[in-house]
Amino acid sequence: MGAIPELKDTTDPDLVAFLASVNSSPTQLADIFVEKLRDAGFSQSLVRRDGGDGGWAWESPHEPKAIMQTFDRRVAEYWKSGEPATPPVAYLYGAADGNETECTPADCGSPEVLFRLAGVGVEIMAPPLWRLVGSKGHRMAATRHAAFLNDLNVEIVGWSLDRSGCEGGEPGLLARAGPCGWYWTGLEGAAAFDFADIGALMYTLYHEANATAAFADYPAINTVFLNCVPPMAASSHSGEP
């Protein structure tokens, strides 16, 4: 992968006001974002394999690759509603409950929004890890939300490994690694934390939730897992919660 840039803050009122003051808009910013990537040589797309039922593959595997990230559902839809030959889009979100009318401008993973974005060609959905992996009977299992994303036939990416930890005695300091904190929501008590717990999370993420990748601050964790754990057929996607 060559570049995975994120177009940030397009829902921020101050940024929107500034753009308006210079006769611009978030969509014009989104256009510039695409143009800069194309000018740098990142122009290839993801294409459907096997007539549309076999997931996604790079159009030219040996050419420079980029993925455009955004939390703004309007930008994600705008990118894919224009020229089809854009770099693939990863739509990031945290909230995945209720309907679109209950969402904030900067965060919405409601089923209707995800269905619409998949329909216009957004290739990658990227919720937080705890939306994809939960705990069932004190073991990690793929969630119903992961099953929903698999039914949409999109690529799935989780975020973010390595960001969470357990609070220590002093405010703001992390005394030890998780599983606790926001990124591990719902997984507390699933296991006593050591490296094996990250392994269990990744195993469930890749083999049960069918994720393609996970954002991580330390690439070695993904690298070790993907090179040392043998591949297996994905299991059922009917886990909890």
The domain locations on the chain are 13-228
Whole-prediction pTM:
0.83
Cis before 219 (ω within 30):
no
Q: How far apart are CA 184 and CA 21, in angstroms?
A: 41
H helix or E strand, kind and range, residue 136: strand 133-136
The confidence score (pLDDT) of residue 96 equals 73
Nearest to 187 by CA among 132, 127, 107: 132
| 10-residue mean pLDDT series, the chain (241 residues) | 90 95 95 92 80 71 90 95 80 86 91 95 93 83 95 93 61 53 63 62 90 83 78 40 35
The confidence score (pLDDT) of residue 172 equals 56
- For domain 13-228, say whether CATH 3.20.20.190 is its number: yes
The confidence score (pLDDT) of residue 6 equals 96
